[in-house]
């Protein structure tokens, strides 16, 4: 990984080539941590060098994807940028592979990132707003490019009616000192206007031109003045325009909400003006940006995937075997890149094991078949098994739980859901049970009970390396079994690689999965390290966070108060323990009544040992 700086608009240019990841989605996620961005707004240019190979890896080429330059206005826009990058890159890979050359994507070799300065364009003539607001004065300067001046005058010399007309402010045109300012006015000229006229001017823009709630700060004044003016910067095609925001507090509040006092620097609202004044003392030391905090009541991070904890009752494991049939080809030109076909594969047999935890519904069985029509016979057999299992589940499903007297007493005394641990609300307590055996499992809330019921209707079908091989033979045959209720749905990485295939409905389904996707190495390497506990973190990184939340049972309280966030940003000590959940602390002070000198001696002894 290396970087260099240049002049003019280029801030920095970096080449990243030290990410060892084949999967494009995971690669882009890792790339986010490598790209360091310290200023906004900016323009980003990305060039991705990828490697493509033939299925037998006898030929390899490099190809370059050049992502269009995108403007990123704020930190909040970065996730949208990376999503666009990933979507367009995947589409490019698909298009490359569909050319018929036989090359398939084999990974990203390197990424070149160029960051450029971005300056808002000079705002000029009239653009109509794409939403209605009584708090915006949009002066219709269709014949000139002085929207900045007219918006300033609309604030200082408000008209009684027809506030959108330029003629209402013509007589005051010379009241503002615009010496040395070129029209249309750019953002970088605003400090000079402020200095010449003793004004405090703030500029805001919209991420979504149709939604006023997407407002974010572009320029926040540090001038103290009794004349504070808020402008809205809007864009349409290549034209830009300034409007006047009459009252920012009213503009940012919905009709159904009480008026708040808005901080211009972070756009957080406060119920009292005194609170806002205290907040500004901290906030204005930081860069201006729109801060989005979790809402009170929705700020607890905890484990919620409780319906994934129970085993599925039925699982199918499958594999295809094939002949390698040699192919004849002409002698290639050694001076040119070429693909030489060696052999083709024809499926000749399948093996399938159906695992069942309920032999009374369906006995565990192994099936196999040898023949040229193995794929057709396999799909026919798996459909028969699927229909038989789902029909027997329907016949044997126990609608009501079977409780003895002790279990009924337990249910009546229960105050919290045994699945998620939350206390019951009024009339939501139900008797959660195994729908196949009828055995009562515990008192649960209605939501957990519904999710548990749906989970048992899924039958996973595993192929090892199915994404790259076996699934390609299945799709056409599965499509023959589609009807009004049962559909085939593909979740694909690209046109050559399928993550999963679903057959069925929302109520019940078969899900074809690749067992290789659940591990980062081959089966032999995984087997060698099964006795090593670090395998959990090393091979299943995506599960460690959820496992940590599940087994600790901890509830992490997220910050909802912007002042608390800014306290951390300023590096003030203390206060962080409140985010980590409940803690127990015992004081050890010689001035307390229960002070014990022995504890001090033990503590000093431990320090020396350390």
How much is the pLDDT for 525? Answer: 60
Residue 488 pLDDT greater than 80, yes or no: yes
Highest mean pLDDT pick, 55-69, 474-488, 595-609: 474-488
Average pLDDT over residues 167-172: 89
How much is the pLDDT for 608? Answer: 46
Residue 284 pLDDT greater than 90, yes or no: no
Rounded CA-CA distance 573/126 in Å is: 50
Degrees (nearest 5) of the Cα angle 521, 523, 526?
Answer: 65
Residue extents of the structural domains in the chain: 2-117, 136-252, 307-328+337-528
Residue 479 pLDDT greater than 60, yes or no: yes
How much is the pLDDT for 2? Answer: 47
Mean pLDDT score of the chain, rounded to an integer? 77
| 365 confidence band (pLDDT: 50, 70, 90) | very high
Between 368 and 326, name the one with better pLDDT. Answer: 368
Between 535 and 461, name the one with better pLDDT. Answer: 461
Between 471 and 303, name the one with better pLDDT. Answer: 471
Residue 444 pLDDT greater than 80, yes or no: yes
Residue 580 pLDDT greater than 60, yes or no: no
Average pLDDT over residues 124-137: 80
pLDDT in tens, 506-555: 778 899 998 877 765 555 565 555 554 454 545 455 556 677 777 777 77
Q: For 2-117, give the CATH class.
A: alpha beta
Between 219 and 607, name the one with better pLDDT. Answer: 219
Between 553 and 43, name the one with better pLDDT. Answer: 43
Average pLDDT over residues 422-430: 80
- DSSP element (H, E) containing 132: none
Among 155-169, 207-221, 437-451, 518-532, the minimum mean pLDDT is found in 518-532
Residue 574 pLDDT greater than 50, yes or no: no
How much is the pLDDT for 249? Answer: 82
Q: What share of the chain is helix, strand, coil (3-state, %, to 5)?
A: 30, 25, 40
How much is the pLDDT for 351? Answer: 93
Rounded CA-CA distance 9/149 in Å is: 28
Residue 97 pLDDT greater than 60, yes or no: yes
Residue 125 pLDDT greater than 60, yes or no: yes
- Concatenated DSSP letters of 172-201: GGGGS--TTPPSSPPGGGHHHHHHHHT-EE
| 381 confidence band (pLDDT: 50, 70, 90) | very high
Rounded CA-CA distance 345/348 in Å is: 9
Average pLDDT over residues 248-252: 82
> In terms of Cα–Cα distance, which of 125, 144, 143 is closest to 243?
125
How much is the pLDDT for 460? Answer: 92
Cis check: omega of the bond before 13, within 30 degrees of 0: no
How much is the pLDDT for 471? Answer: 84
How much is the pLDDT for 461? Answer: 93
Give me the count of residues in the chain: 610
| 98 confidence band (pLDDT: 50, 70, 90) | low
Q: How many CB atoms lie within 10 A of CB 51?
A: 16
Average pLDDT over residues 323-334: 72
Residue 357 pLDDT greater than 80, yes or no: yes
> In terms of Cα–Cα distance, which of 343, 344, 363, 365 is closest to 353?
365
> What letter does residue 456 receive in the DSSP assignment?
T
Average pLDDT over residues 332-344: 63
How much is the pLDDT for 6? Answer: 40
Between 58 and 434, name the one with better pLDDT. Answer: 434
Q: Is 8 left (phi over 0), alpha (psi -120 to 50) or beta?
A: left
| 576 confidence band (pLDDT: 50, 70, 90) | very low
Would strands 458-463 and 314-326 be described as parallel, antiparallel, or unpaired? parallel
Residue 311 pLDDT greater than 60, yes or no: yes
């Amino acid at each position: 990984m290396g970087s260099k700086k240049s002049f003019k608009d280029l801030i920095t240019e970096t080449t990243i080539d030290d990410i060892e990841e084949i999967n494009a989605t995971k690669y882009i996620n890792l790339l986010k941590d490598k790209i360091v961005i310290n200023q906004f707004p900016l323009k980003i240019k990305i060039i991705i060098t990828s490697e493509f190979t033939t299925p037998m890896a006898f030929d390899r080429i490099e190809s370059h994807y050049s992502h269009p330059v995108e403007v990123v206005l704020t930190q909040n826009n970065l996730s949208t940028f990376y999503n666009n990058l990933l979507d367009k890159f995947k589409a490019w890979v698909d298009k490359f592979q569909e050319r018929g050359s036989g090359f398939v994507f084999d990974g990203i070799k390197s990424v070149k990132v160029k960051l450029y300065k971005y300056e808002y364009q000079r705002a000029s003539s009239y653009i109509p707003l794409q939403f209605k607001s009584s708090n915006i004065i949009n002066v219709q300067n269709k014949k000139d490019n002085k929207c900045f001046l007219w918006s300033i005058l609309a604030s200082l010399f408000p008209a009684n009616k027809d506030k959108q007309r330029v003629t209402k402010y013509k007589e005051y045109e010379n009241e503002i000192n615009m010496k040395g300012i070129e029209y249309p006015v750019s953002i970088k000229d605003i400090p000079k206007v402020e200095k010449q006229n003793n004004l405090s001017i703030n500029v805001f823009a919209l991420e979504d031109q149709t939604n006023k709630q997407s407002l974010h700060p572009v320029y926040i004044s540090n001038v103290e003045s009794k004349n504070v003016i808020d402008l809205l910067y809007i864009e349409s095609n290549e034209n830009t325009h300034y409007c006047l925001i009459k009252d920012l507090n009213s503009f940012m509040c919905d009709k159904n909400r009480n008026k708040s006092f808005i901080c211009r620097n972070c756009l957080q609202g406060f119920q009292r003006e005194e609170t806002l004044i205290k907040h500004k003392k901290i906030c204005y030391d930081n860069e201006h940006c729109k801060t989005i905090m979790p809402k009170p009541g929705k700020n607890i991070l905890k484990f919620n995937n409780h319906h994934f904890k129970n085993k599925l009752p039925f699982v199918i494991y499958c594999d295809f075997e094939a002949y390698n049939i040699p192919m004849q080809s002409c002698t290639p030109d050694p001076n040119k890149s070429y693909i030489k076909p060696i052999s083709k594969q024809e499926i000749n047999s399948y093996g399938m094991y159906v695992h069942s935890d309920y032999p009374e519904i369906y006995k565990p069985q192994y099936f196999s078949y040898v023949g040229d029509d193995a794929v057709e016979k396999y799909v026919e057999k798996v459909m028969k098994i699927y229909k038989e299992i789902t029909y027997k589940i329907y016949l044997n499903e126990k609608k009501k739980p079977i409780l003895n007297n002790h279990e009924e007493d337990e249910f009546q005394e229960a105050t919290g859901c045994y699945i998620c641990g939350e206390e019951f609300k009024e009339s939501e307590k139900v008797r959660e049970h195994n729908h196949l055996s009828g055995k009562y499992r515990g008192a649960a809330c209605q939501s957990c009970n519904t999710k548990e019921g749906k989970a048992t209707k899924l039958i996973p079908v595993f192929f090892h390396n199915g994404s790259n091989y076996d699934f390609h033979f299945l799709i056409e045959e599965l499509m023959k079994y589609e009807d009004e209720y049962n559909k085939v749905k593909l979740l694909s990485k690209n046109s050559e690689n399928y993550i999963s295939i679903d057959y069925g409905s929302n109520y019940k389904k078969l899900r074809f999965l690749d067992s290789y996707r659940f591990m980062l190495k081959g089966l032999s390497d995984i087997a060698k390290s099964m006795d090593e506990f670090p395998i959990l973190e090393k091979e299943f990184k995506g599960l460690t966070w959820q496992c940590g939340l599940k087994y600790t049972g901890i509830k992490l309280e997220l910050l909802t108060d912007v002042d608390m966030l800014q306290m951390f940003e300023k590096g003030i000590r203390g206060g962080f323990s409140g985010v980590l959940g409940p803690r127990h602390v015992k004081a050890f002070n010689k001035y307390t009544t229960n002070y014990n000198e022995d504890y001090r001696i033990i503590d000093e002894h431990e320090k020396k040992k350390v």
